[in-house]
Structure 1
Amino acid sequence: MAFAAGILVCQLGVALPSPLEMGSALGVGLLLGALVWGLSARGVVRGLLLAIAGAAIGWSYAGWRAELRLADALPGELEGRDVQVTGVIASLPQDFERGLRFVFEVEESSAPVPRRISLAWYKGYRDDELHSLPEIHAGERWQLTVRLKRPHGNVNPHGFDYEGWLLQQGIRATGSVRPAESNRRVAAFVPGLMNGVERLREGIRARFRAALPDAPYAGVLVALAVGDQRAIPAELWKVFATTGISHLVAISGLHVTMVAALFAAGVGAIWRRAPALALRWPAQQAAVTAGFFAALGYCLLAGWGVPAQRTLYMLGCVALAIGLRRETAPGRVLAVALGVVLVIDPWAVLAAGFWLSFGAVALLFLVSSGRLGQDGRILGALRAQWAITLGLLPALLLLFQQFSVVSPLANAIAIPLVSFVVTPLALAYAVFPLQMFADLAHGAFALTMLPVRWLAELPWAAWQQAAPPPVLAVLAVLGCLWALLPRGTPARWVGLVPLVPLLLWSPARPVPGEARVAVLDVGQGLAVHVQTAGHDLIFDTGPAFSADANSGERILLPYLRAIGVRRLDTLVVTHQDNDHAGGAEAVLTGLPVGEVRSSLPPNHPARVIAGPRDVPCAAGQGWDWDGVRFTLLHPAEASDAVPKKTNDIACVLRVEAGGRTLLLTSDIEAVSEAALIARDADALASDVVVVPHHGSRTSSTAAFVAATRPRWAIFPVGYLNRFRHPNGEVWTRWAASGAGMLRTDAGGAILFTLGEAEPQPLGARALAPRYWHGR
């Protein structure tokens, strides 16, 4: 536990320890460990010394591993340059709307690049550029011309840390395959254990796709067999999250244990009936060894996730103890699994699955030990489900801002069917490709989903709230552990008391007369949240990344839910360009929205969804919320006519609070800027300006910059975007005005308060720095 705590402290650090600090901590840890080894006394002193030693060793070990991984970096001067590489396709190739994505292990290159990179091979960026791609398969060796960039992701409050995830995966650069005649397959297969495993996984996935081409749950069977969850539609993930059964479609410990138990039982039965075998090696030891190796094979086939690893290491510990004829204490088994996982992967502590996986097993040990009597199967199952539901509730609220109210019932239905019917049938089809197995597995899961979907549609199926402070979550965890102790523990009900502030907690909102503003980091696009004392507005919704992924679903909705926004009063969609309207449909279907103001064409899906709530933007429209004034300055008049350039009718919004002004300009260009100056140049004067059209050369004229006279200029741009925004001359023009310069690709989401005091915008990267950011 102390070793894990030391690793966690290092991973949450702003900077890595220096070599001197790491060496000193390691020396202290080893010295204390040696002292404890020779210390005859036991008790508090010994435990304290062990804790300090473990934490010091964990802290230094995590720092050392991080330095090694970060050293494998792409030189900054190679970003955006074409490089020729030769290497192996090291993962399952993943289809997406306009191409393929895969992990590539570099063997040779024309310039120094990281060993492990993530590549996308596009069919074309525009419809008129689409072309076919060659077939690629895991384990092949290719020579490719690639264009790379250092790990970079969007950084928003409560958002997914893509850079941290890449670091955990060992991926130290991302990029794309360039169209080049030199791109060619060098070898059809490169021998190697993991290459063989990935090729096998790909073959099984292809087999499922061929057997169930149009089946709605084929992706679930693929996930259960080979751990590839990307084929599961987003709509299904919502159902799983609402009902609390997401763990069942991942390769969970339950599945690994089930496979191990089946193999152990089979080998044990055969061994006992063969006297020659039983006399040479006890049947029990042979059975657990067979179960361990079966679990190892399944874990490799399933993608080697943390829950699967944890279960494998626990099974290995049990198998070793039985082989050595030693007692196995549950706590020690779990501790060994924890240590092995963190030694192999010290970044595992950054994954939500790590906490939920080890937490669930620890809770099961807690409620199944230290009791005088043995529960029956039904009572034991109910006790276990109650323990996991209650004990993981604080973690679920902290990590995901929701928990499933119907989870106990949904799991009672789904666990037996998925674990003991669907998964064995899916694995049977993976080993013996008989169509019968695939059809039976799909039919069984379809039957499972009938009651699960009904539960998901209940209006109270899931509890959602703002992300609570970690202190409240820790207190609630301690309370839940107390409440789950055996009968006879005094005042167990007191443990439920800390849940009350956790469930009722809500973040503070701005005071009347002030507005809190977040210019979100959505890549090459725009999305701004303006919050007053009692109202919320979203100005644009960022881009759609593909047919089934957009910034509304991936960035805006998680952010709004995490800060406690359950309803939007106004959604402004300035015009129909993808980088501004791509997430509008997701926002409209994901949250209640009072009204929609836009310059979208009449047939746009967002206007169709909005229906009577839709109000076309027009200059002069305005409203007051809690002492904050909102005024639309552009376009001059509302119209359903679609101009040649939709940027010309983009909505422009002015927000004034406490005498300070924010100007949201969307994608207006020089023509619209001139029109705004002609109508009312004084209305453009602002303390903060979100720069027009991401700083393109067609906007931000000298006259417009002079009219706005901002204290701060914010550029919403994507990292190394293909439009090369912001334009160098435009950047210089704004800088010459004396404005402070901020950009979302460098700083993440830009956050500030608009009120009587001068606004002081800060980037999310500066507010929550991590040692891997920018590296």
Structure 2
Amino acid sequence: MRSAVIGFALGVGFLQTQAALPTVWLLCCLLALATLSIAAACKIPYPYLKSAANLLAGALFGIAWAGLFAHYYLQHELPPAWEGRDITVIGTVDSLPSYFEAGVRFTFAVEQALDQDGESPVVPGRLALGWYRAAGQPPPAQVQAGARWQLTVRLKRPHGNANPHGFDYEAWLLERNLRATGYVRPDQKLDVKNRQLQAFVLSPGNLIEVLRSRLRQRILQALPEHRYAGVLVALAVGDQNAIDQSDWEVFNRTGISHLVAISGLHITMIAGMFAAIIVALWRRSCFTRAALPLLLPTQKVAALSGALVALCYVALAGFGVPAQRTLYMLLVVALALWSGRIASVSHVLCAALALVLLIDPWALLWPGFWLSFCAVGVILYTSVGRSPGMALEGKTRLARWRSNLKAAGATQYAVTVGLLPLTALLFGRVSLIGPLANALAIPLVGLVVTPLTLIASALPAPLSTWLWRGAHALMEQLANFLNWLSALPFAVWQAATPQTWTFALALLATLWLLAPRGWPLRWLALAGWLPLLLDNGSRPGAGEMWVTALDVGQGMAVLIETADHRLLYDSGPYYSPTSDGGSRVIIPYLRARGITRLEAMVVSHADNDHSGGALSIMESVKVDTVYSSLALNHPIVQAATDHRRCHDGQAWQSETMKFEMLYPNLAYYPAPAAPGKFNANTVSCTLKITHGQQVILLPGDIEAAQERQLIASHAGQLKANVLLVPHHGSGTSSTAAFLAEVEPQIALFQLGYRNRFRHPKQQVLERYQNLGIENFRNDSDGAILLKFGDTVSVDTYRNQHRRYWYGR
């Protein structure tokens, strides 16, 4: 059974790395072949050969199962012909609505799509929608889970930013069967069509979501203006949206982020505590006439009560992967006890693994899956078959307490050390103070804060309010301690995402270090971690320059690198008060590459799609010098340690690279007290980088007038192999005269998928194509990767990282 489950997991993992899905006919054949293989394996008398046959059969079944699952989900895709068109749909809100400053986001289950001008729209069954408030109006706060609405929406096919080491939003949407995203149309002419038809539609899913929504509302209303109320909401219903981004950074740096969510640890603790209470009452019923243990054994009652509590808590949490894993393990144990079978821990773990992947074949794409199962695997490796330690029978209560504390400390040590290589692989950094922080946070959050939060959820006010305030006070004190720990200079070890060989070596070293006592030279295993911890990541070779045009949506962000120097041109767009191109795309990429310092950052101008991520970057990465055309009182200028206003004539050199600022002239900057609205595009910093015989020109958002000024002031000096297309391909830029002066061979279009400006304009795109210029676009290619040497080579992230769900 175990070998078949391992093969099944390997087959599912193999399928999720494919650029295209096998045909349904081929997958059905694999499914039949897997069934025959399992039947044949049962008759093989040799254990090792039987295990190999089961492994193969499981792998074939995993490929077939995951492939058929994917085919079923993908067939509900929104047709391209219905992208960007107004569609009126009727359906229910089937998720916990997520409110934010500008509106609300929710999942919508479509029941009916109304005809549009005589056509019948083809709409997926589930949509990810945003409803944004119109200017001067309050957000649409009346959206509640379980309600039936008629909405006019504008949709697009699933699309997300595609960058190395970035979050795969398209895979996330596929996993949740959300085959279109969009927004509710707020136009006044259409408002009459956006109306609630029914306050609540009864179904098990809607009932759970309503309970989650009401509980969240109760907690937030009971704790107004309390900073960590969002943490209590996360512990109660799994909704983490109310937790501040700065708090998340502290939790991540101290290694306790797994506690600020409904994890397997929480579920196990709550289920165990509830089962212990029921068992205590059940046993003491012998003092009454009931004598319940004679009717049903105490062990079965404990298993049943723990499993039921875990099921309720997981439902309240929204069925996350760590929660599912714990639930399935508890259910398997309960089933084994009720059936009179003794289940080994490895069988329980394999059963949970099979159930998770049967229900969700995409689960293994996410860090939570690996951390969850590997943590249990480490515990098994360091406990099963080892010395049981001191027997507790006949010992004093203090001795038993010490023994349990020692065992808990040993388990925490094993999990922390055992997950170190995986943590470095998934997150590119390791919390050195994590063991200390967890030693305090695990018992406090797991045994006090979480139970108080859940008990208060079942009580009426004011009792619930008192308990929630007590839980918040404890969480606040813990957070103060964590803030102090996080500020320590040695709190986190930052390293690049490890290469395959360094990760494998660290993994072997970890197994060696955690081997049983008496294993020879266990301390030498520490040397196996050194390549992983000291890895600086990939770097350009001598005489090379790398240019990465990151996919940040509708905005610009270009990273230029040599072996020892890095410059960032623009910082991506501003998305929301808690998210921008810097925090969402650029910083994760820099961390994964092991880049902790930028010699320079150029913020071409003040528009949010170019400057939106600068402050986030400056808070996370050391930036030596900032060049910009921003006003001197701008927050970015104030935050910079060394700010220089960019202007024509600036030049500096680094190794084989020469940097020249070609625009603007200082005379073009407006006077501080100049009246009227100023167009920041007119002073976009235009940077020319020369590397040997290769040149790249970065002109920001200059328009036709600025292009003419550049031609007049730098005639014959604008030639470049690579051109970052001005103003994202706007119709006001990329004039024929400018392109004739630059003569690029490669053009980089940085723009968002189906952006509201409709960039690039068709006439501009045709102008580049007619000149034979090779075009690359972030919206269709993802991040664009260029290597400058004797020649310029170009590749794209979507080409390197092809997956069947990209649909390209």
How has the CA–CA distance of structure 1 residues 303 and 2 changed in structure 2, closer, same or farther, with 3 Å as cutoff? same
One-letter code of the match for 1:217? Y
| SS of equivalent to 1:498 | helix
- 1:699 corresponding residue in structure 2: 733
Is the Cα–Cα contact under 8 Å of residues 234 and 240 in structure 2 kept in the other structure?
Answer: yes
Residue from 322, 327, 338 that aligns with 2:337: 322
User: Are residues 1:590 and 2:597 paired?
Assistant: no
1:30 paired to 2:57: no
Q: Are 1:221 and 2:211 counterparts? A: no
Map of 1:410-489 to 2, 5 A cutoff?
410-433=437-460, 434-489=464-519
Aligned counterparts of 1:273 and 1:182: Cα–Cα separation in 2: 62
Structure 1 position 174, deviation (Å): 0.4
Which residue number in structure 1 is paired with residue 22 of structure 2?
A: 17
Match of 2:644 in 1: 615
RMSD: 1.5
2:275 corresponding residue in structure 1: 264
**Deviation at 1:609?**
0.3
1:583–1:503 Cα change, 3 Å: same
- 1:99 is aligned, of 89, 100, 103, to 103
CA distance in 2, matches of 1:539, 1:599: 13
* Whole-angstrom distance in 1 between the partners of 2:743 and 2:137: 44
Q: Say if 1:601 and 1:640, in contact at 8 Å, map to a contact too.
A: no
Q: Does structure 2 conserve the Cα–Cα contact (< 8 Å) formed by 1:706 and 1:737?
A: no
Paired residue for 1:238, among 241, 249, 265? Answer: 249
* Match of residue 116, structure 1, among 102, 107, 126: 126
**Aligned partner letter, 1:346:** P
Rounded Cα–Cα distance in structure 2 between residues aligned with 1:452 and 1:586: 21
| Residues in 2 aligned to 1:547 and 1:424: alpha-carbon distance in whole angstroms | 32
The match for 1:684 is: 718
Percent identity between matched residues is: 47
| TM-score, normalised by the number of residues in structure 2 | 0.93
Between the two proteins, the alignment pairs up a number of residues equal to: 769
Residues 1:626 and 2:651 aligned together? no
1:148-183 Cα offsets, whole Å, 9 max, x none, are 001100011111111111111221110000122111
Matched, 1:139 2:146: yes
Alpha-carbon displacement from aligned partner over 1:246-280 (angstroms, at most 9, x marks no partner): 01011111111122112212222232334353333
In structure 2, what residue type is equivalent to 1:627?
T
Post-superposition shift, 1:132? 4.3
Q: C-alpha separation between the residues in 1 aligned to 2:299 and 2:56?
A: 39
Which secondary structure state, in structure 1, belongs to the residue aligned with residue 362 of structure 2?
A: helix
Superposition pairs of residues 276-315 of structure 1, within 5 angstroms: 276-315=291-330
Give the equivalent residue in structure 2 for 1:381: 408
Q: 1:177 aligns with which of 164, 171, 184?
A: 184
Aligned partners of 1:243 and 1:456 also within 8 Å: yes
Instruction: Flag the 1:588–1:444 CA change in 2: closer, same or farther, 3 A.
Output: same
- TM superposition score normalised by structure 1: 0.97
The 5 A counterparts of 1:693-732 are 693-732=727-766
1:34-113 aligned within 5 A: 34-42=39-47, 44-110=48-114, 111-113=121-123
Instruction: Report the 3-state secondary structure (helix = DSSP H, G, I; strand = E; otherwise coil) of the residue aligned with 1:466.
Output: coil
Tell me by how many angstroms 1:697 deviates. 0.7
Unmatched 5+ residue regions in structure 1? Answer: none
Contact 1:310 1:338 in 2 (8 A): yes
Moved more, 495-504 or 230-239: 495-504
- The 3-state SS of whatever aligns with 1:596 is strand
1:748 correspondence with 2:782:
yes
Q: Is the 8 A contact 1:534 1:625 kept in 2?
A: no
Q: Give the counterpart letter for 2:31 in structure 1.
A: L
TM-superposed CA distance for 1:640, in Å, is 6.2
Contact 1:225 1:423 in 2 (8 A): yes
Deviation of the 1:325 alpha carbon: 1.6
Q: How does 1:500-515 map to 2 (within 5 A)?
A: 500-515=530-545
Q: Partners in 1 of 2:538 and 2:476 — Cα distance?
A: 44
The more displaced of 168-177 and 362-371 is 362-371
What is the CA–CA distance in structure 2 between the aligned matches of 1:109 and 1:82, rounded to whole Å? 11
| SS at structure 2 position matched to 1:633 | strand
Give the SS at the match of 2:585: helix
Residue among 322, 333, 349 paired with 2:348: 333
Whether 1:409 and 2:436 are equivalent positions in the alignment is: yes
SS of the residue 1:106 aligns to: strand
Contact 2:506 2:528 in 1 (8 A): yes
> Is contact 2:99–2:141 with CA below 8 Å preserved after alignment?
no
Write the distance in 2 (CA, Å) between the matches of 1:764 and 1:345: 26
Q: 1:129: Cα distance to partner?
A: 5.3
SS at match of 1:738: coil
Counterpart for residue 205 of structure 2:
194
Shift of 1:134: 5.2
Check whether the contact 2:103–2:141 (CA below 8 A) recurs between aligned residues.
Answer: no
Q: Which moved more, 1:500-509 or 1:380-389?
A: 500-509
| Residue of structure 2 in register with 1:658 after alignment | 692
Q: 1:31 to 1:488 in 2, by over 3 A?
A: farther
Q: Is the 8 A contact 2:538 2:593 kept in 1?
A: no
Contact 1:551/1:583 (8 A) holds in 2: yes
Mapped contact 2:104–2:139 kept (Cα < 8 A): no
Measured in 1, the distance between the counterparts of 2:465 and 2:136 equals 39
* Matched-pair contact (CA < 8 Å) for 1:601–1:641: no
SS in structure 1 at match of 2:647: coil
Partner of 2:424: 397
For residues 132 and 517 of structure 2, the distance between their equivalents in structure 1, rounded to whole angstroms, comes to 61
Report Cα offsets for 1:209-265 as digits up to 9, x if no partner.
Answer: 111110111000000001001111000110011000001011111111122112212
Tell me the distance in 1 between the aligned counterparts of 2:671 and 2:691: 34
In structure 2, C-alpha distance between the alignment counterparts of 1:468 and 1:594, rounded to whole Å: 27
CA distance in 2, matches of 1:372, 1:481: 18
Alpha-carbon displacement from aligned partner over 1:278-308 (angstroms, at most 9, x marks no partner): 3332222122111111110000001111111
Deviation at 1:57, TM superposition (A): 0.9
Counterpart of 1:636, as a letter, is: N
Secondary structure of the equivalent of 2:666?
A: coil
- Contact 2:781 2:797 (8 Å CA) reproduced: yes
Partner of 2:704: 670
Please tell me whether the aligned partners of residues 453 and 468 of structure 2 are also in contact (alpha carbons under 8 angstroms): yes
Q: Which amino acid aligns with 2:37?
A: L
Is the contact between residue 102 and residue 139 of structure 2 (CA under 8 Å) also seen in structure 1?
no
Q: Give the superposition deviation at 1:660.
A: 0.9
Residues in 2 aligned to 1:548 and 1:321: alpha-carbon distance in whole angstroms: 47
Q: Give the deviation of 1:676 after TM superposition.
A: 0.1
Number of the residue aligned with 1:370: 385
* Maintained 8 Å contact 1:532/1:625: no
Q: Distance in 1 between matches of 2:651 and 2:322?
A: 53
The structural deviation recorded for 1:93 is 1.0
Separation in structure 2 between the aligned mates of residue 751 and residue 256 of structure 1, nearest angstrom: 44
